[in-house]
Amino acid sequence: MILIIDFGSQYNQLIARRVREHQVYCQIEPPGIELGKIRELRPEGIILSGGPSSIYEAHSPRVAKGIFDLGIPILGICYGLQFMVDALGGEVIRSDKREYGLAALKIRKKGGGVLAGVEKKTRCWMSHGDRIGRLPKGFRITASTENTEAAAAEDAKRRLYGLQFHPEVVHTAEGKRMLENFLFGVCRCAKSWTMKSFVLDAVEEIRGTVGDKRVILGLSGGVDSSVAAVLLHQAIGRRLTCVFVDNGLLRLGEAEKVRALFGKNFRMDVRFARARKAFVEGLKGVADPERKRKIIGRIFIEVFEKEARKIKGAEFLAQGTLYPDLIESRSAFGGPSAVIKSHHNVGGLPKKMKLKLVEPLKHLFKDEVRLLGKELGMSDDVVWRQPFPGPGLAVRIIGEVTEKRLVILRNADAVLMEEIRAGNYYRKLWQSFAVLLPIKSVGIMGDQRTYENVIVIRAVTSEDAMTADWAKLPHDLLGRVSSRIINEVRGVNRVVYDISSKPPSTIEWE
């Protein structure tokens, strides 16, 4: 197990993912973690992340200095190296020249440690405005760049290593090898983090937490809640009750698919709350996207609470919270508090209904959840489902949401999905969907003038949704989509393709 201390780096989740890609479990903790807790975790190594602060600032984040006396190998990255230097009696000063982006790295010391086997000349990714002025006693420089003499340093005797650059990003040519060296060469970790081992541990933990009590889960049909449901069902069987709220804002056939998969195939206890009318009436006359989200969230909670109260003996509420949500919600120096997806978020229900939370996926990243789904025997259709917004089609209808407009968008979206799958592009895309605009355009159909709706097609590629590029779909595929939508979806006479990337645009339109 590797412990990662979060100093607020934009890359700390990426560090964790890189470690887990090597089948080594890791955990991110804030710098306020106590030494006793570290001993209790018994990590084989510690990584000190980067961060936006300068170590000489009054309120810069720090972990207890005693961490260096635990005898545990430590790797400091960027700010993590600077903290290590400062804590052990060295000096960190402001750089005359800040260094951001790619830099040529020259290895000064061949041998073992983090830089074992790394080419003498390679490239790395820098992002810092401070530098090491004086190293602590026992340290020596192992690599340099033109602007940064101490680009890497080590006290091999104490197994303390530091990199001023970021090995976790793909721009650092041999970053993967450097992390491998730390994990296996220095820390002697074993490759024991697999989804098979996770399932065994998670089932045991769920049973220990829940005991003989009942659990309620808000099931959306998305990847996270679906995998959580199957995992919980494996652990406690019929003592899990899933509540599916049919809000009328779903894709074509979505409710029926959920019923077939979880009710018939997995034989789960799934309660269906039909509330289409409540949601559509609640959205009547509302065009502002933020108001839409709030209205949908409020009605969802009302419907869910009403259905959940019918389930006698329930003491736990399950949610599909993922590790990034958990990290952000408790990060003292990182990003904003987590905003858990609205189709998982049941507001104040746990407290209001006196329910205890159980979050079986809270230590997993999205890609790991997909792997877990496969381990649990779930189909690719569910495991590789593209992200779908909690408020559903309401945020893909620009302007007022009505039954008529929902039918148009739902049918157009169904055509798009059919063609994307038929062209074998579904798994290649992060998201693909249709958007209904609040404008109409002139057209000619059957020698008659028409004035009908415009559909936008959006398809993007991405690794994590932080950035995204518009997908370069084949023209013949786009042509089939356009032709079918105009011919088959009554009320549409024009289809356009969104070629905006994120940033500056967002993936969704609202």
Catalytic residues: 78, 166, 168
Token output for 110:
């061949």
Cα distances (Å, whole numbers) of residue 32 to 55, 331, 333:
16, 10, 11
Cα gap 178→183, rounded to integer Å:
9
Token output for 227:
């995998």
The total of other beta-carbon atoms located within 10 Å of residue 360's CB is: 25
Cβ contacts of 75 within 8 Å, gap of 6 or more: 45, 46, 47, 48, 114, 161, 162, 163, 182, 186
Cα gap 338→319, rounded to integer Å:
14
Which candidate, 74, 77, 48, 98, places its Cα nearest to that of 168? 77
- In the chain, what are the helix, strand and coil shares in percent, each to the nearest 5? 35, 25, 40
Cα distances (Å, whole numbers) of residue 131 to 99, 231, 301:
10, 48, 51
One-letter identity of residue 226 = S
Q: Dmax of the chain from CA atoms?
A: 86
DSSP output for 366-409:
HHHHHHHHHHTT--HHHHTPPP--TTGGGGTB-S---HHHHHHH
Q: DSSP letter at 98?
A: E
Cβ contacts of 291 within 8 Å, gap of 6 or more: none
